[in-house]
Amino acid sequence: MEKWFIAAKRADFNQISKRFGISPVTARILRNRDLLEEKEIAFYLNGTLEDLHNPREMKDMELAVTILKEKIKSKKKIRIIGDYDIDGVNATHILLTGLHKCGALADIEIPDRMKDGYGINENLIQSAYEKGIDTIITCDNGIAAIDQIAFAKELGMTVIVTDHHDIPYIEVAGEKQYLRSKADAIVNPKQLECSYPFKNLCGAAVAYKLVETLYQEYKIEKSCLYELLEYVAIATVGDVMDLQGENRVLVKYGLENLKRTRNLGLKALIGINQLDCERLSAYHIGFVLGPCINASGRLDTAKRAFSLLQADNMADANRIAGDLKALNDSRKEMTMQGLEKAIEMVENSSLIEDKVLVIYLPDCHESLAGIIAGRVREKYNKPVFVLTKGEEGIKGSGRSIESYHMFEEMNKCKELFTKFGGHPMAAGLSMEEKNIELLRETLNTNAALTEEDFVSKIMIDVPMPIDYITEEFIKELEILEPFGKGNTKPVFAEKDLRIISLKVLGKNKNVLKMLIENGKQIKMEALYFGNTDDFYEYLCCKYSKEKVDFLYEGKPTDLSLSLTYYPSINEFNGRKTLQIIIQNYQ
């Protein structure tokens, strides 16, 4: 169930249009992205790398660089400890590349998801100490490793933390007391005392800022720094950061780098996925390349993805890229099996009545719980926890909706968990199997959600008849890219579009191609890539099965739908035609 709303934010769209040389429609889209001030709009449309903030504004940046310069000068051994996800792998690669460029004796370690869990731990520290490592530098982790870093300091090691996660805290008498480890330097823009203006960088971007400052100190050319942008882009999109402010600029330039990458591993990964380099977008990072990189950390070891980025010959690059694609294909199959089982459980049990879905899949791989929870949430628009059974008890992941603060709700029943953490929209947990049913009961008893909260809200940027679509307008929309979280594709809509014809395409029959017509008798092709079974069932409910079957058989009907869409250009055999990509229908 969903409701459509039209964004009603006001501004002088004609004035914005004239000032920036864009159409009033594009001006309206910018306003819907909360861009109103001239400076904000100018940065959004024309921001460059030179406009980014000075990394030295970040708390402890100068201190971290001073420490590293001394360690490099005295030939001390440095170990980077990263994380097993796409952000951690790219952050590790950025730091290692940067430190080697500055002459450091540096190596890396990436925790094993199943054996080590998230982030730096005492075993990794002890191992580094025994191998003569003097300095540990974390990336994409470490901000919450209070005890672990204390252990490293007891061993006499130097520790630099680079991270982007929220600062841990405890509540005392209703007030938050933020915790800080004994690390020698902590570089994280989310620290309260940090004056760096943009707080929402990913771990790889924080690592990039550290390397940028090091390169300034060692007088290394900016072109060498900019070669690292493609890894920042992959991490930013892959870690689902908001594509706003600095992130948008970093991804925009990083994508341009990626299109002509010299990294053999990325070349191989792009090739094996049969992608056109010139057409690479944030979508391809988020849904093709990124999942391949993440798959190694989920099902194997993240060091395999790291070795892809480090590959120095095409034979190795192609072999590793093939391995990663195979792992991701396996991950997709396992995810689909888990998702089907989860939906079957919901549909055929009392779970369907719950406000908060707690789904126990004992045979599911624990690394897939979050993906499955997200897919189930999309289907039901309810908060979802997916629990799996491992050697050390139950582990799970949760994905939430806007009106349900998942972390706070978990705090209300924290005695049911052996370990948990998260934020409003997602969480991870460990617990005992005997508490699963009690968790379900408690979460649902506490939930103050109403039926309205389960209604998916579709925000329309501009109600726009399809006859307004031109090739020039579609070209203009490209200035709004890259699209992703925090900078979504604009949503256009038109009511009562007649379906003249419909074809089911694709080897899996998962694409619909329609010819539609509006009230002005303007015709245009429309493609739909969503759930084709749900589409068919919706039409049957709205009209009749007989009429819908006529349409699917190629016979004329009077069926019509209101559509939300995004316009695009179909290029085939050198011929360009306008089309729309359907997003929602009713």
Binning pLDDT at 50, 70 and 90, where does residue 512 land? very high
In order of 81, 102, 395, 419, 576, the CA distances from 123 in angstroms are 12, 29, 22, 19, 59
- Residue 60 CA to residue 64 CA, distance in Å, equals 6
**For position 129, what pLDDT does the model report?**
99
Question: Cβ distance 516 to 504 under 8 Å?
Answer: no
Question: Cβ distance 104 to 71 under 8 Å?
Answer: yes
- Residue 222 CA to residue 500 CA, distance in Å, equals 56
- Residue 434 CA to residue 360 CA, distance in Å, equals 12
- Residue 423 CA to residue 444 CA, distance in Å, equals 19
2-9+458-585 has CATH 2.40.50 classification: yes
Q: Is the pLDDT of residue 295 over 80?
A: yes
Report the run of H or E that residue 493 belongs to, with start and end: strand 492-505
For residue 482, is the peptide bond before it cis, meaning its omega torsion is within 30 degrees of 0?
A: yes
In order of 325, 363, 370, 500, the CA distances from 348 in angstroms are 34, 19, 22, 38
Question: Which residue type, as a one-letter code, is found at position 331?
Answer: R
Binning pLDDT at 50, 70 and 90, where does residue 173 land? confident
* Full strand arrangement of the beta sheet holding 426-431: 357-360, 384-390, 393-399, 426-431, 417-423
Q: Is the pLDDT of residue 419 over 90?
A: no
φ, ψ (nearest 5 deg) of residue 561 = -140, 155
Tokens 């190629």: give the residue: 554
**For position 420, what pLDDT does the model report?**
85
- Residue 286 CA to residue 281 CA, distance in Å, equals 9
Q: Is the pLDDT of residue 567 over 90?
A: yes
The residue-averaged pLDDT of 270-297 equals 96
Closest CA to 325 of 271, 367, 283: 271
The CATH number for 55-228, chosen from 3.40.50.1000, 3.40.640.10, 3.90.1640.30, 3.40.50.2000, is 3.90.1640.30
Residues 85-144 have pLDDT tens digits of 999 999 999 999 999 999 999 999 999 987 888 889 999 999 999 999 999 999 999 999
Residues 356-381 have pLDDT tens digits of 999 999 999 999 999 999 999 999 99
Q: Residues of the chain with pLDDT > 90: what percent?
A: 90
Binning pLDDT at 50, 70 and 90, where does residue 171 land? confident
Write the Ramachandran bin of 349: left for phi over 0, alpha for psi from -120 to 50, otherwise beta.
Answer: beta
- Residue 343 CA to residue 511 CA, distance in Å, equals 22
Q: Which distant-in-sequence residues (6+ apart) come within 8 Å of 259 by Cβ?
A: 277, 278, 280
Domain parsing of the chain, residue ranges: 2-9+458-585, 55-228, 349-450
**Alpha helical stretches, state H, 421-565:** 436-446, 471-477, 532-542, 545-552
Write the Ramachandran bin of 142: left for phi over 0, alpha for psi from -120 to 50, otherwise beta.
Answer: left
If you write DSSP's letter for every residue of 45-103 in order, what string do you get? Answer: HH--GGGSPPGGGSTTHHHHHHHHHHHHHTT-EEEEE--SSHHHHHHHHHHHHHHHHTT
**For position 170, what pLDDT does the model report?**
85
**For position 116, what pLDDT does the model report?**
83
Q: Is the pLDDT of residue 422 over 80?
A: no
Question: Which residue type, as a one-letter code, is found at position 18?
Answer: K
- Residue 58 CA to residue 188 CA, distance in Å, equals 7
Q: Residues of the chain with pLDDT > 70: what percent?
A: 100
Helix (H, G, I), strand (E, B) or coil at 420: strand
Tokens 């209703």: give the residue: 174
Write 442-445 long-range contacts (CB < 8 A, 24+).
442/412, 442/413, 442/416, 443/356, 443/358, 443/383, 443/385, 443/409, 443/413, 444/354, 444/355, 444/356
- Residue 242 CA to residue 290 CA, distance in Å, equals 16
Domain 349-450: CATH architecture, name and number where available: Roll (3.10)
Q: Is the pLDDT of residue 169 over 90?
A: no
Closest CA to 289 of 303, 307, 302, 275: 275
CA dihedral sign, ordered 180, 183, 184, 185: negative
Q: Is the pLDDT of residue 515 over 90?
A: yes
Q: Is the pLDDT of residue 57 over 90?
A: yes
**For position 376, what pLDDT does the model report?**
98
Closest CA to 423 of 62, 148, 160, 167: 167
Cα 443 from chain centroid (whole Å)? 27
**For position 55, what pLDDT does the model report?**
99
Q: Is the pLDDT of residue 431 over 80?
A: yes
If you write DSSP's letter for every residue of 226-291 in order, what string do you get? Answer: HTTHHHHHHHHHHTT----HHHHHHHHHHHHHHHT---HHHHHHHHHTT--GGG--HHHIIIIIHH
Q: Is the pLDDT of residue 586 over 90?
A: yes
Question: Which of 33-37, 44-48, 387-391, 556-560: highest mean pLDDT?
Answer: 44-48
Q: What is the DSSP letter of 567?
A: E
Q: Is the pLDDT of residue 516 over 90?
A: yes
**For position 520, what pLDDT does the model report?**
96
- Residue 366 CA to residue 376 CA, distance in Å, equals 16
Q: Is the pLDDT of residue 54 over 80?
A: yes
| Lowest-confidence segment of 92-96, 323-327, 423-427, 516-520 by average pLDDT | 423-427
Question: Cβ distance 476 to 24 under 8 Å?
Answer: no
Closest CA to 97 of 217, 188, 224: 224
Q: Is the pLDDT of residue 22 over 80?
A: yes
Tokens 């006001």: give the residue: 10
- Residue 340 CA to residue 345 CA, distance in Å, equals 9
Binning pLDDT at 50, 70 and 90, where does residue 511 land? very high
**For position 424, what pLDDT does the model report?**
86
Binning pLDDT at 50, 70 and 90, where does residue 509 land? confident
Tell me the average pLDDT of the chain: 96
